[in-house]
C-alpha cells in the first residue's frame, strides 16, 4: 500500500560520534548522539522517535474506532514513555507506557475502555512492537 522512508547517518565511534536523522517527507530532521540517547543532552534518539510513532498511531487508531461507532472524538492526546533498560546481554526496550486523554462527548466509559483496547491491538505500530509490553492509562473527558 505505502512505503515510508527515513534515513540515519552516523559518523565516528559510539560515545563521541554524531548522527543525523531525516524523515523522507521532510517533516523532521535532527541530530542524535550517545549523550542524547543515554544521558540528557540536546538532540533526539531512536526511543523518542519510536514513542512518537506509537503515540500517534494509537491516537489515530482510537479515533478511527470511536468514529466507526458513531462517537467521533473532539480530541485525543497521547504521551508515550519508552523504557530503554540495560540487561546482561545489552540494552532493550522492555516497556512502553501510553497515557491518553480523550474528549468524546456522550460516550459511555465502558465503551471507551473497549475502544482503547481495540486501538492498542489494531495500531500497526503496536503490532510491530508486539514483543514489547505496552501499558495504557486512558482518561475520558477528564474522568
The model's pLDDT over 59-70, given as tens digits with 9 standing for 90+, comes to 999 999 999 999
Q: How far apart are the C-alpha atoms of 53 and 64, rounded to whole Å?
A: 17
Mean pLDDT for the stretch of residues 19-44: 96
Q: In 17-132, which ranges are E strands? A: 18-23, 29-33, 75-87, 90-103
Round to whole Å and give the CA distance between 56 and 64. Answer: 12
Q: What is the pLDDT of residues 84-114, one digit of tens each?
A: 999 999 999 999 999 999 999 999 999 999 9
Mean pLDDT of 30-59: 96
Q: Per-residue pLDDT for 142 more than 80?
A: no
How confident is the model at residue 1, as a pLDDT? 86
CA 131 remoteness from chain centre? 15
Q: Which three cell numbers stand for residue 59?
A: 491516537
pTM here is 0.93
Residue 70 pLDDT? 97
Amino acid at each position: 500500500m505505502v512505503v515510508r522512508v527515513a534515513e540515519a547517518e552516523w559518523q565516528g565511534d559510539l560515545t563521541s560520534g554524531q548522527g543525523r536523522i531525516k524523515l523522507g517527507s521532510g517533516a523532521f530532521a535532527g541530530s542524535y548522539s550517545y549523550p542524547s540517547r543515554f544521558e540528557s543532552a540536546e538532540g533526539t534518539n531512536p526511543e523518542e522517535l519510536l514513542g512518537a510513532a506509537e503515540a500517534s498511531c494509537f491516537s489515530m487508531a482510537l479515533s478511527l474506532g470511536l468514529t466507526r461507532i458513531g462517537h467521533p472524538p473532539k480530541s485525543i492526546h497521547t504521551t508515550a514513555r519508552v523504557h530503554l533498560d540495560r540487561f546482561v546481554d545489552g540494552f532493550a526496550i522492555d516497556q512502553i507506557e501510553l497515557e491518553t486523554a480523550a474528549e468524546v462527548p456522550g460516550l459511555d466509559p465502558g465503551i471507551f475502555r473497549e475502544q482503547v483496547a481495540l486501538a492498542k491491538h489494531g495500531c500497526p505500530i503496536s503490532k510491530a512492537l508486539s514483543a514489547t509490553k505496552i501499558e495504557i492509562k486512558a482518561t475520558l473527558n477528564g474522568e
